[in-house]
Amino acid sequence: MKRPILIHPDPRLKKVCAPLGDLSDELRVLADDMLETMYDAPGIGLAAPQIGVLDRLIVMDCVKGENETPRPLVMFNPEIVASSDVMNVYEEGCLSIPEEYAEVKRPEAVDVRWIDRDGNEQTETFDGLWATCVQHEIDHLNGKLFIDYLGPMKRQMITRRMQKLKREQAKARA
């Protein structure tokens, strides 16, 4: 089932999410809903707080191109265990900050440990777009958005545009 995506600014996007205990069918349904919501948007990553659930859960799939096999990843309690010294700059966007893009500098590669959909612990090194995406999504679990890496002027400008967008959306619904 598709879930509505929260738009910045929203206090739920600024919260530090709680670690998850044992996996349950309910959590697997939540992860599947998040993947459906992400693919539909369309996006390459989604974190639970973006649908108003303050759990440490992210989903992503950075495979591009119609002829390539999708690789949906579900990560419970994801953790960055090592980061490269080499940095990389990517133009980032966010489903909670629609139509806004900005360059963000992050480590080029990261080792991530997480619990997968079957409850197994996984560790993998990500680089390129996958590295940027996983760091962006884990940031969401700590209440951090990509615009927090920008200067205050630019951040305020984007936030004002989002406030305007939310007013317009509210009016359209009324």
Does 136 belong to an annotated binding site? yes
Which one, 52 or 119, has the nearer CB to Ni ion?
52
Q: Which residues lie below 8 Å from residue 19, measured CB to CB, with a gap of 6+?
A: 56, 77
**Closest distance of CB 112 from Ni ion, Å:** 16
Binding site for Ni ion (CB under 5 A): 94
Which one, 38 or 94, has the nearer CB to Ni ion?
94
Which one, 27 or 95, has the nearer CB to Ni ion?
95
**Closest distance of CB 49 from Ni ion, Å:** 10
Question: In terms of C-beta density within 10 A (0-12 exposed, 13-18 middle, 19 or more buried), how is residue 150 classed?
Answer: middle
**Are the C-beta atoms of residues 135 and 125 closer than 8 Å to each other?**
no
**Closest distance of CB 24 from Ni ion, Å:** 25
Query: Among 68, 108, 137, 168, which one carries the catalytic annotation?
Result: 137
Q: Which residues lie below 8 Å from residue 143, measured CB to CB, with a gap of 6+?
A: 13, 14, 15, 16, 17, 49
Question: In terms of C-beta density within 10 A (0-12 exposed, 13-18 middle, 19 or more buried), how is residue 162 classed?
Answer: buried
Whether 36 is a known active-site residue: answer: no
Neighbours of 154 (CB within 10 A): 13
Does 17 belong to an annotated binding site? no
Does 140 belong to an annotated binding site? yes
Active site residues: 137
- Known binding-site residue numbers for Fe cation: 94, 136, 140
